[in-house]
Amino acid sequence: MTTAEIAELTHGETRVESVVTGVAIDSRRVTPGDLFVALAGERANGADFADDALAAGAAAALVPRGQEGPGRIAVDDPLDALAVVAREVRLRGTASVVGITGSTGKTSTKDILAALLAPHTAVVASRQNENNELGVPLTLARIEPVTGVAVVEMAMRGLGQIAHLAAIARPQIGIVTGVGPVHLELLGTIENVARAKAELLQALPADGTAIVPYGEPLLEPYLAGLGCTVVSFGAEQGADVQLRAFTATGGAGQAEIALRGRTLSVSVNFTARHNALNLAAAAAAYDSLGLPLDELALGAGDVAFSRWRGEEIELPGGGLLIADCYNANPTSMAAALRHLSESAAGRRRVAVLGDMAELGADAGEYHREVGELLGELGIEVVVAVGPEARAYGGRWFATVAELREALGDVIRPGDAVLVKASRSVGLEDAVEAIAP
């Protein structure tokens, strides 16, 4: 795309005549040909680094009006302009776009789907936490002429946000992995969570496909009015794509997936049953893209999960660390604790758990329910971090720093350890202390 085209699309002003081949928002990571997008952050103003980016080879710098200068494109809002550019990249390309949202499992489903697609086509997928109004455009901007599918994760904290992201990404396939109690401080009710997630489905074209959990009553009001195909997934009889069985041993799993009158045996490189359900959702998208069912399993053994999202690390003495501390809500916490119990294989189970954030007025009750589940599962050692986490029982620490000092007394060689909390707790520091 030329700088003149970008200026026209974004109603910007420029005297630069150049060709843009990529996008960067960090001047230290600019490669020749990039469009440097000068964003205003909490600690730095990107416009202050525009000259550094140009010196590093940027084709142009997208800056706010009032910051005009050589090599710059001046626009009203660089973030809004980035969204316009990214949408244009998406529309000019031939790639199919799959949008994924959900209260739990969206990142893992994205990772699984990317692995399933990789043997068949060039794939662009969201990286790390590129799932918001900045991350989605950055993902789309990586689409190349050879890209066959873009897998775009979409997060939200309020109503209207997923609709905004979908307007940029224009997905043909939309996956809602599930609806649960998340971001209730802003959304108020779980019904509003469903309403927010359904914005992705409502953005799909008539020839698109909506992939949803089987029998989810909170989504039912939104499915009736969709003009596109609806495909359900789940473990229940009646799901269009059904997880009929899943077994795990020795760090690998075997799933039986039924769809379109066939049952496929799929070997995977993960052991968590909740990821087997995410596999069913990913298989539905794979099939909707028209790829050969006989070859669905080709990439299933090469899933690369994003860091701190169910990452399994071997510990000394035959121990196991499950690092799942990127996010937490009642649904994902329960799934992770059951996975800890299933994967312990006779080892002592240690749950290092922190607060679940943004649960609103019922936060205390949700934390108490996790404490009850810990008792039901008989988890041998419970370590809690944060004010709300007191409800879990076990040994309590006010801060992660205090926990780190005591970890040597808590964890023994050969333990199976789960570390899970909302990202705001910072339990990744505990992961690094346990498995440096």
Structural domains of the chain ordered from first start: 3-75 (3.40.1390.10), 93-302 (3.40.1190.10), 311-434 (3.90.190.20)
- Among candidates 386, 389, 383, 385, which has minimal Cα distance to 364? 389
Please tell me the predicted confidence (pLDDT) of residue 385: 94
- The tens digit of pLDDT for each residue in 306-358 reads 877 888 888 988 999 999 888 899 999 999 999 999 989 899 999 999 999 98
Please tell me the predicted confidence (pLDDT) of residue 180: 86
Q: Is the pLDDT reported for residue 234 higher than 90?
A: yes
37: confidence class by pLDDT, cuts 50, 70, 90: very high
3-state secondary structure at position 306: coil
Neighbours of 301 (CB within 10 A): 14
183: confidence class by pLDDT, cuts 50, 70, 90: confident
CA 332, distance to chain mean position in Å, is 13
**In whole numbers, what is the pLDDT of the chain averaged over residues?**
94
Q: Is the pLDDT reported for residue 212 higher than 80?
A: yes
The reported pTM is 0.88
Beta-bridged to residue 350, according to DSSP, are: 381, 417
Percent of the chain whose pLDDT exceeds 90: 81
User: Distance between CA atoms of 194 and 28, rounded to whole angstroms?
Assistant: 40
Q: What does DSSP say about strands 209-213 and 381-385: parallel, antiparallel, or unpaired?
A: unpaired
Return all residues near 330 (Cβ < 8 A) that are at least 6 apart: 180, 181, 356, 359, 366, 369, 370
Distance between terminal CA atoms of the chain? Answer: 44
User: Distance between CA atoms of 408 and 378, rounded to whole angstroms?
Assistant: 22
Beta-bridged to residue 254, according to DSSP, are: 247, 267
Q: Is the pLDDT reported for residue 389 higher than 80?
A: yes
Please tell me the predicted confidence (pLDDT) of residue 64: 96
User: Distance between CA atoms of 6 and 9, rounded to whole angstroms?
Assistant: 5
Please check whether residue 382 is in contact with residue 393, taking contact to mean a CB–CB distance below 8 angstroms: yes
| Per-residue buried b or exposed e for 178-193, using 16+ beta carbons within 10 Å of the residue's own CB | bbbbbbbebbeebebb
CA 288, distance to chain mean position in Å, is 21
Q: Is the pLDDT reported for residue 436 higher than 80?
A: no
Identify the H or E element spanning 263.
Answer: strand 262-268
Across the beta sheet with 13-14, the strand order is 13-14, 72-75, 60-64, 34-37, 22-24
Please tell me the predicted confidence (pLDDT) of residue 157: 82
Please tell me the predicted confidence (pLDDT) of residue 185: 77
User: Distance between CA atoms of 213 and 66, rounded to whole angstroms?
Assistant: 49
Q: Is the pLDDT reported for residue 232 higher than 80?
A: yes
- Among candidates 265, 250, 136, which has minimal Cα distance to 203? 136
Beta-bridged to residue 258, according to DSSP, are: 242, 263
Looking at residues 31-44, what average pLDDT do you find?
Answer: 91
